[in-house]
A and B are shown apart, each in its own frame.
Chain A
Amino acid sequence: MLDDRNGDAFVAFEHVQKSYDGQTLVVKDLNLAIGKGEFLTMLGPSGSGKTTCLMMLAGFETATHGDIRLDGRPINQVPPHKRGIGMVFQNYALFPHMTVGENLSFPLEVRGMTKAEREGRIKRALDMVQMGSFANRRPAQLSGGQQQRIALARALVFDPELVLMDEPLGALDKQLREHMQFEIKQLHEDLGITVVYVTHDQGEALTMSDRIAVFNDGRIQQLAPPAQLYEAPENSFVAGFIGENNALAGVIEDLQGDKALVRLDGGGLIDATAVNIREKGQRTTVSIRPERVEFKPEMMSPDAHTIEARVLDVVYMGDILRARLSVAGSDNFVIKMRNTIGQTRLQPGQHIRIGWHPQDARALDPV
């Protein structure tokens, strides 16, 4: 991890704060180091400060406090056009009065390249996104997916080492979005560029990123690779924001090392792994992923506690079956079962006992 080695980082935010009105901070003490060639995603709900961070990096907003470094040099005072950062905008921002070729030519012209050099690069960039024959079209004549590709080609045509993407796939339909996710990832790997990607779509973040920074309330809540973020969320916000999650409120009954025993508010005693709790008697929210909950005795670890549950309803979703349970007074406890041939079909009203491996239940801060 690069967290503690800001000196070598390609992009570094150091104690960055941003306020628009002098009353509230939109970004509160941001520290982030992005390595060269990394695909880092800033994920968070709207208003969490992720886009502001991107805009500060691009140079369209100035940090109220703190330093932003690019390849070692501070860029706070560098105007956007001298930063050499490629950017893909949410609405693509293709210049409507220029053809595709002219759009791609623009960054090369302002860099004073010769016509021959420009043509070679434009052709290469268009071929890269499989749009070679579209140089003479206008943006308005292209579909959303095609515009997206051109925007990508334009951000890459002048060989930037860092490319910023501000929710670039937000306007595409689901199928196209998934396809483009794959293509962007492929380009990232082929070109070895550093990508900072902003999205509020967690699925997109999980499939594409090397690391994800989850933003909320102007702070990075957790910075981790996708698998770690999903399986080992460090606080309740991350647990709730990434993927589906069951949250059970309770009090720490016993704490030994990272093994915690939690007395649930709705009754019942469960095992959990202590994450960000320190002492007995503290309130906590236990987070368990729906697919990690077991109801077959043979699948549970023998020394773990189990808890009574009543099946409320079962939804058939094709690849999985999704059951809603009433557990310890909460009616929103969800479990997921793979739709295999021998799978037990739960019936509404049925009483079962559920349990889990203690490392899958994470005792986090109370909500």
Chain B
Amino acid sequence: MANAALDPHAAIATTASGAPDRLTTADGRPLVRALARSQSKARRRAFLLVAPLLAFILITFVVPIGQMLQRSFHNDGFSANMPQISAWFAETPAGTVPDDAAWTALAADLTASAEARSIGVVGTRINYDLAGSRSLFTSTGRKVRRGIEPPYRDALLEMDEDWGDPQLWSAMRGASSAVTGNFYLAAVDRTRDEAGKIVQVEENRRIYVTLFWRTFWLSGLITALTFVLGFPIAHLLATLPMRKSNLLMILVLLPFWTSLLVRTTSWMVLLQQQGVINDILVWLGIIGDGQRLQMIYNQTGTIIAMTHILLPFMILPLYSVMRTINPSYVRAARSLGATSWTAFRRIYFPQTLPGLGAGAMLVFILAVGYYITPALVGGSSGQLISNMIAMHMTDTLNWSMAAALAALLLGAVLALYWLYDRLVGVDNLKLG
């Protein structure tokens, strides 16, 4: 051992035979394993250090979100409580006219479900697909508990003729399997007709696709506006002397530290028809008292308030990148013969791209999921998809629908992120 330890070549001695020579340590163990062992303790300690955070994220973030997203394609409200008719749907192809076996199974399920007081859950599930059908189930439930005699088809039709509606049967078929893509179809304004074909919903019920487009279009517009407004400010911050730029920085950050609600409310005060800005315009005689501008409770309100709220997210990454750009680059460009515009366009601006990319990603992703501000100042034309998700969460209690919409939104954002990575490269992002 002593000799081996003294021999400087021992540590990199290779096995005498064998084609791919493996490096070994002085005492003959493979180098790779020795390295892993020597680092394992440090690695264990490092893991222990992050373990609390990991557990926290798993419990409060990954699991609930996973559960929520699961609802978008899994809902057993109908299938668990109506097993016999679900089995009949499973055996027959889509569009099959319900036969005696189907009516018998339906009557049996309805009776059982009414006895178990789960008929409301069943009705709610069908109601998601066919509005107004919850009451059909509950009222029929009350009636079958008083007794139902064969032939079941006639008996049920007598209780309510809606039972003969092919759309109802199509909706029940859709709900008969716990795992379903129907919520995703609904989230893009599609549904299945009686024959099981995917078709668009009626014109007046198509809302989600429009809302998705509006969300992305408004988010893009807000991102562009924050860029136009934020770029000069970030440049000013980065080039002013430290004392002045610190003061300006506080002005940038001040709204950041103010409650979101306060900021949104102050926009209401400013922008409403009897608000400060309209009053000033009327007082200056620019507009007449009868022509007060509608600047809030519509898309304009959403754009103004969200641009203001998201502006720091654009300014800060831009600023942090601009501060590192040495002024000598622009000077060099100027001395090489470039006009100030060319120097800006070809030398300065390209170097701000990592900050711009980071800022644009931040603002866009935040804007896509924004909820409170559009809800407060958006009126009806300024609502975004997140407001619809919130509505399904709190009002209609159709969590599956909310989850499907959220999953689509998440998917779209991830797709954009992927696209960004392909085009620009995520390594080029600089947040600070």
- A110:B338 contact, CB within 8 angstroms: yes
Known A95-B347, A96-B351: A81·B339 in contact at CB below 8 Å: yes
* B332 surroundings in chain A (CB, below 8 A): 87, 89, 93, 95
- A60:B334 contact, CB within 8 angstroms: yes
The 0/1 profile, CB within 8 Å of A marked 1, for residues 323-358 of chain B is 000101101111111111011001100110000000
A56 within 8 A of B: no
How far is it, in angstroms, between the C-alpha of A95 and the C-alpha of B336 when the chains are bound? 12
* A111 surroundings in chain B (CB, below 8 A): 337
> Smallest Cβ distance from B241 to chain A, in angstroms?
12
How far is it, in angstroms, between the C-alpha of A97 and the C-alpha of B328 when the chains are bound? 15
The 0/1 profile, CB within 8 Å of B marked 1, for residues 79-108 of chain A is 111111111011101011100000000110
Closest A residue to B354 by beta carbon equals A97
How far is it, in angstroms, between the C-alpha of A85 and the C-alpha of B335 when the chains are bound? 6
- B328:A59 contact, CB within 8 angstroms: no
- A81:B328 contact, CB within 8 angstroms: no
- A93:B329 contact, CB within 8 angstroms: yes
> Smallest Cβ distance from B397 to chain A, in angstroms?
53
Known A89-B328, A95-B347: A58·B335 in contact at CB below 8 Å: yes
Known A97-B351, A106-B346: A89·B334 in contact at CB below 8 Å: no
- B334:A81 contact, CB within 8 angstroms: yes
How far is it, in angstroms, between the C-alpha of A83 and the C-alpha of B338 when the chains are bound? 11
A197 within 8 A of B: no
How far is it, in angstroms, between the C-alpha of A107 and the C-alpha of B326 when the chains are bound? 19
How far is it, in angstroms, between the C-alpha of A81 and the C-alpha of B334 when the chains are bound? 5
- A91:B335 contact, CB within 8 angstroms: no
* B336 surroundings in chain A (CB, below 8 A): 81, 86-87, 106-107, 110, 154-155, 158
Q: Say which size band chain A's interface belongs to.
A: 20 to 34
Known A93-B326, A93-B329, A110-B342: A80·B351 in contact at CB below 8 Å: no
Which B residues from 185 to 202 make CB contacts under 8 A with A? none
Known A107-B337, A110-B337: A89·B331 in contact at CB below 8 Å: yes
How far is it, in angstroms, between the C-alpha of A45 and the C-alpha of B236 when the chains are bound? 31
How far is it, in angstroms, between the C-alpha of A91 and the C-alpha of B324 when the chains are bound? 13
- A158:B326 contact, CB within 8 angstroms: no
> Smallest Cβ distance from A206 to chain B, in angstroms?
27
- A97:B350 contact, CB within 8 angstroms: yes
How far is it, in angstroms, between the C-alpha of A83 and the C-alpha of B342 when the chains are bound? 16
Closest A residue to B351 by beta carbon equals A97
- B331:A60 contact, CB within 8 angstroms: yes
> Smallest Cβ distance from A84 to chain B, in angstroms?
7
Known A95-B347, A96-B351, A97-B350: A106·B338 in contact at CB below 8 Å: yes
The 0/1 profile, CB within 8 Å of B marked 1, for residues 235-259 of chain A is 0000000000000000000000000
- B334:A91 contact, CB within 8 angstroms: no
* B339 surroundings in chain A (CB, below 8 A): 79, 81, 110
* B346 surroundings in chain A (CB, below 8 A): 106
Closest A residue to B336 by beta carbon equals A107
Q: Which of B331, B337, B343 has the most CB of A within 10 A?
A: B337
Known A106-B333, A106-B346: A93·B328 in contact at CB below 8 Å: yes
> Smallest Cβ distance from A259 to chain B, in angstroms?
51
* B331 surroundings in chain A (CB, below 8 A): 58, 60, 80, 87, 89, 93
- A80:B335 contact, CB within 8 angstroms: yes
Known A81-B338, A110-B336: A90·B329 in contact at CB below 8 Å: no
How far is it, in angstroms, between the C-alpha of A87 and the C-alpha of B331 when the chains are bound? 9
* B334 surroundings in chain A (CB, below 8 A): 59-60, 79-81
How far is it, in angstroms, between the C-alpha of A80 and the C-alpha of B342 when the chains are bound? 13
Closest B residue to A86 by beta carbon equals B335
> Smallest Cβ distance from B139 to chain A, in angstroms?
71
Q: Which of B335, B336, B342 has the most CB of A within 10 A?
A: B336
How far is it, in angstroms, between the C-alpha of A59 and the C-alpha of B346 when the chains are bound? 20
> Smallest Cβ distance from A97 to chain B, in angstroms?
5
> Smallest Cβ distance from A77 to chain B, in angstroms?
15
Closest A residue to B338 by beta carbon equals A110
* B329 surroundings in chain A (CB, below 8 A): 93, 95
Which A residues from 92 to 145 make CB contacts under 8 A with B? 93, 95-97, 106-107, 110-111
* A81 surroundings in chain B (CB, below 8 A): 334-340, 343
Q: Which of A59, A81, A86, A111 has the most CB of B within 10 A?
A: A81
> Smallest Cβ distance from B135 to chain A, in angstroms?
66
> Smallest Cβ distance from B280 to chain A, in angstroms?
39
How far is it, in angstroms, between the C-alpha of A81 and the C-alpha of B340 when the chains are bound? 8
How far is it, in angstroms, between the C-alpha of A91 and the C-alpha of B326 when the chains are bound? 9
Closest B residue to A82 by beta carbon equals B337
Known A97-B350, A97-B351, A106-B346: A158·B328 in contact at CB below 8 Å: no
The 0/1 profile, CB within 8 Å of A marked 1, for residues 124-152 of chain B is 00000000000000000000000000000
How far is it, in angstroms, between the C-alpha of A6 and the C-alpha of B329 when the chains are bound? 33
Known A106-B346, A110-B342: A91·B328 in contact at CB below 8 Å: yes
How far is it, in angstroms, between the C-alpha of A186 and the C-alpha of B342 when the chains are bound? 33
> Smallest Cβ distance from B89 to chain A, in angstroms?
61
How far is it, in angstroms, between the C-alpha of A54 and the C-alpha of B331 when the chains are bound? 13
How far is it, in angstroms, between the C-alpha of A155 and the C-alpha of B335 when the chains are bound? 9
* B347 surroundings in chain A (CB, below 8 A): 95
> Smallest Cβ distance from A11 to chain B, in angstroms?
15
How far is it, in angstroms, between the C-alpha of A154 and the C-alpha of B333 when the chains are bound? 11
* A83 surroundings in chain B (CB, below 8 A): 335
How far is it, in angstroms, between the C-alpha of A318 and the C-alpha of B148 when the chains are bound? 118
- A158:B335 contact, CB within 8 angstroms: no
> Smallest Cβ distance from B161 to chain A, in angstroms?
73
* A59 surroundings in chain B (CB, below 8 A): 334-335
* A87 surroundings in chain B (CB, below 8 A): 331-332, 335-336
* A80 surroundings in chain B (CB, below 8 A): 331, 334-335
How far is it, in angstroms, between the C-alpha of A76 and the C-alpha of B92 when the chains are bound? 91
* B333 surroundings in chain A (CB, below 8 A): 95, 106
> Smallest Cβ distance from B199 to chain A, in angstroms?
51
> Smallest Cβ distance from B322 to chain A, in angstroms?
14
Please list 19 pairs of residues, one from A and one from B, whose beta carbons are closer than 8 Å in the complex, sorted by A's number: A58-B335, A59-B334, A59-B335, A60-B331, A79-B339, A80-B334, A80-B335, A81-B337, A86-B335, A87-B331, A87-B335, A89-B328, A89-B331, A91-B328, A93-B328, A96-B351, A106-B336, A106-B338, A155-B336
**3 closest A-B pairs by CB:** A107-B336, A93-B332, A87-B335
